[in-house]
Amino acid sequence: MTDQTTTSVTEESKRIAELMHQLQTSSEKKQLQLIPELASLGNAGLEALMEFLKEQQSTPANLVTGLAYQVLYNANTSNTNTFVQSYFLTGIVPLRSEVGVDYLPLQQRLIQQDFLAADRLTLEKLCELAGPAALARKWLYFSEVENFPITDLRTLDTLWFIHSQGKFGFSVQRELWLSLGKNWEKLWPIIGWKTGNNWTRYPNEFTWDLSAPRGHLPLSNQLRGVRVIASLLSHPAWTSTTKGKG
């Protein structure tokens, strides 16, 4: 190894150590910026992220650990694949369900940032929660939403929230809705579902990436009226103290 190479390796090690220190001590916003920077430093940066995630294993999933996990999952190297399978085989968000619904396929689409496929899977999972009749018709009655298990809605919401850096999810839509005094006509343009008098057309006019407005996803069958989304955003999942949030 030449002196120049040694110097380069030493500088890289120092840079990674500095970034890791910042990752441990910075604000959430700064942490989210540091993770791609670490990943850009190649295998050494990915190793550092693996160590970071190992240290965070006992803490609930958050936006920072969610992004670190996504980066490692999508790096798709031998080392990162082994790490993911060894420590986070079913992801960073606990896939809890009161009725045995499998949320792993949805989680994988969200980790890959395939938001269109994730949105379709979300509707499928909601129909699965509603029962065979909803699965057959592929849409929901508002009265079915009222009976959804708290645990399952929280799992769905947490998956969307964690793997969108906090931009998407039912809880985000609810927060915006409440901030607007529950005014639907004010909500639609803010989340990008309506422009003037025109509803956003599915799927091509929706934005299937993180450049979308906050609360843009997941969608609901709002064109049938507001009753389904009203039931979703008024569900006890968001106000109950029952344990089950991922």
- Tens of pLDDT, residue by residue over 6-46, are 566 688 889 999 999 999 999 999 999 999 999 999 999 99
Question: What are the pLDDT digits (tens) for 173-193?
Answer: 999 999 999 999 999 999 999
Residue 133 confidence (pLDDT) above 60: yes
pLDDT at 223: 60
Same domain, 125 and 226: yes
Question: Between 222 and 109, whose confidence is greater?
Answer: 109
Same domain, 230 and 192: yes
Same domain, 83 and 108: no
pLDDT at 225: 76
**pLDDT (average), residues 101-126:** 97
Identify whether 244 is part of a domain.
no
pTM (two decimals): 0.93
Please give the mean pLDDT across all residues of the chain.
92
CATH number at residue 200: 1.10.10.1770
Domain count, the chain: 2
Identify whether 94 is part of a domain.
no
pLDDT band, very low/low/confident/very high, at 216 (cuts 50, 70, 90)? very high
Range of the domain at 73: 3-87
Same domain, 72 and 138: no
Residue 244 confidence (pLDDT) above 50: no
Residue 110 confidence (pLDDT) above 90: yes
Residue 43 and residue 193: Cα distance in Å, rounded? 41
What secondary structure does DSSP assign to 147-193, as a single string? T--HHHHHHHHHHHHHTTTTS-SHHHHHHHHHHTTT-HHHHHHHTTS
pLDDT band, very low/low/confident/very high, at 224 (cuts 50, 70, 90)? low
**pLDDT (average), residues 154-171:** 98
Identify whether 187 is part of a domain.
yes
pLDDT at 245: 38
Residue 69 and residue 165: Cα distance in Å, rounded? 12
**pLDDT (average), residues 118-130:** 97
pLDDT at 242: 52
pLDDT at 240: 77
pLDDT at 6: 59
Nearest CA to 173 among 246, 107, 186, 92? 186
Same domain, 16 and 117: no
pLDDT at 5: 59
pLDDT at 243: 44
**pLDDT (average), residues 103-121:** 97
Structure tokens at 43: 């295998």
Same domain, 114 and 205: yes
